[in-house]
Chain A
Amino acid sequence: MTTQSQSKRYSAGVYIIGIAAIILLAVIPLFIITDSEFGGADGLGAETVATLAPDYDSGWISNIWEPPGGETESALFALQAAIGGILIGYFFGYLRGKKANNRET
């Protein structure tokens, strides 16, 4: 591994601490704020528009298609994440295959 000395790798500990910090940042709000449903921030934005400009009609254009309900919407969000996950996994799988191939030959 000394051949790759130009970029030093973090130890596993750094990775574990970093990932723990990310998870904590996302989980802590769920415990310190218990009376909220964690609605979308742009939903709040829309409410603020209604307060600032009560006469504004946002109905001049509407979404071409809307998911019929929360279930379909969750499915489509999951689809989006899955597409992204496949692309990321494909890349790391490619790296792994390439290394394994180099090792054999």
Chain B
Amino acid sequence: MFIKKYQRIGWLLAAVLLLSGQAAWAGSEAAPQTMHIMEGFLPLGWAVFWWVAAIPFWFIGFRQVRKVLADRPEQRLMLGLAGGFIFVLSALKIPSVTGSSSHPTGTGLGTLLFGPFIVTILGTIALIFQALLLAHGGISTLGANAMSMAIGGPLAAYYLVWRPLRGKVPTWLSVFATAAIANLFTYIITTTQLALAFPDPVSGLMGSWLTFAGIFAVTQIPLAIAEGILVVLIFNALQSSAPTEMKQLGLEGV
């Protein structure tokens, strides 16, 4: 019984390892950049706009993280798990059917466990790491990229999917939908940000939006499905292997 329980976690870890090996192989010849708006690719005005828009969310997120660390120190490990998941998944550049690569966001799991505001901080940490060390995204576009990956995706997934669906449909479906939407919505926001900054001279905002959507969203749909499946498996493994920790988060019986 004891061995069996951990067998499943072993399978999951094996899958993550396989995926990362595979992504590294596919990524070896790929262009140096993937996803996120690159440094300089938003005009100053828009860069400032998205920074200002992101600040209130960071503020709330920061307070919530501090509250968890101070009041519920037993949840620190779960917080590390949620953050670690974002770090791993956003490092994996995975090939997609459109012939380009993109990466999952990993924000869905944290959103399910801690709600969207705490993920705001966890996701931004991953974005800062990538902007400073990998020239992947940038400081001027950090506000915009945080708005899409760390704020908008988790908020939409939590309030439009997880809260309405929780308990009303089978757990796997609500968990899958939450993770997949957190991922997809990130790219919808990125698309909108680029379309707003660069409307098509002929077809205007909508034409520009569709052009960018064609690039990001189509690449992203298979990855959103893959991320959804992975989060369903991890969520289930957590419910069975970490019932105490899940109970503390109010997630034992969903």
Interface residues on A, range: 35 or more
Residue on B with the closest CB to A22? B226
Contact B31 A39 (CB under 8 A): yes
Contact check, B20 vs A33: say whether CB atoms are below 8 A apart.
Answer: no
| CB <8 Å contact, B26 and A38 | yes
Q: Label chain B's interface by main secondary structure.
A: helix
Q: Which of B6, B34, B139, B240 contacts A96 (CB 8 A)?
A: B6
Is the pair B31, A52 in contact by a Cβ cutoff of 8 Å?
no
The listed residue (B97, B133, B229) touching A28 by CB distance below 8 A is: B97
Report the nearest A residue to B140, measured CB to CB: A61
Contact code string A88-99 (vs B, CB < 8 Å = 1, else 0): 111110111001
- Across the interface, do B16 and A66 meet the contact criterion of CB distance under 8 Å? no
Q: What residues of chain B lie closer than 8 Å to A30, measured between beta carbons? A: 26, 95
Q: Give A5-26 as 1s and 0s: 1 = Cβ < 8 Å from B's Cβ atoms.
A: 0110110101110110111011
Q: Are B194 and A18 in contact (CB under 8 A)?
A: no
**Interface bracket on B:** 35 or more
**Could you say which residues of chain B place their CB within 8 Å of the CB of A91?**
77-78, 80-81, 84
Q: Does A105 contact B (CB under 8 A)?
A: no
A101 within 8 A of B: no
Q: What mask results when residues 224 to 254 of chain B are scored 1 for a CB within 8 Å of chain A, else 0?
A: 0110011011001001111101100000110
* Contacting residue for B99 out of A38, A49, A74, CB 8 A: A38
The smallest beta-carbon distance between A101 and chain B, in angstroms, is 12
Known contacts: A30-B26, A42-B36. The answer to whether A63 contacts B31 by CB under 8 A is no
Contact of B40 among A4, A52, A62, A85 (CB under 8 A): A62
Residue B69 at the chain A interface, CB threshold 8 Å: no
Known: A61-B140, A76-B134, A88-B88. A29 touches B99 (CB 8 A): yes
Given known contacts A48-B211, A80-B130, A91-B77, is B194 in contact with A56 (CB within 8 Å)?
no
A103 to B6, CA, bound (A): 15
Q: Which residue of B lies closest to A60 (CB)?
A: B40
From the candidates A15, A66, A99, name the one contacting B135 in the complex (CB within 8 A): A66
Check A80 against B87 for contact (C-beta < 8 Å).
yes
Q: Using CB atoms and an 8 Å cutoff, list the residues of chain A in contact with chain B.
A: 1, 4, 6-7, 9-10, 12, 14-16, 18-19, 21-23, 25-30, 32-33, 35-46, 48-49, 52-53, 56, 58-67, 70, 73-74, 76-81, 83-92, 94-96, 99, 103
| Minimum-distance CB pairs A-B, first 8 | A87-B84, A84-B87, A40-B34, A39-B31, A36-B99, A84-B88, A58-B40, A7-B239
Interface residues of B (CB under 8 A from A): 1-2, 5-9, 11-16, 18-20, 22-24, 26-41, 43-44, 77-78, 80-81, 83-102, 126, 129-135, 138-140, 171, 190, 194, 198-201, 208, 211-212, 215-216, 219-220, 222-223, 225-226, 229-230, 232-233, 236, 239-243, 245-246, 252-253
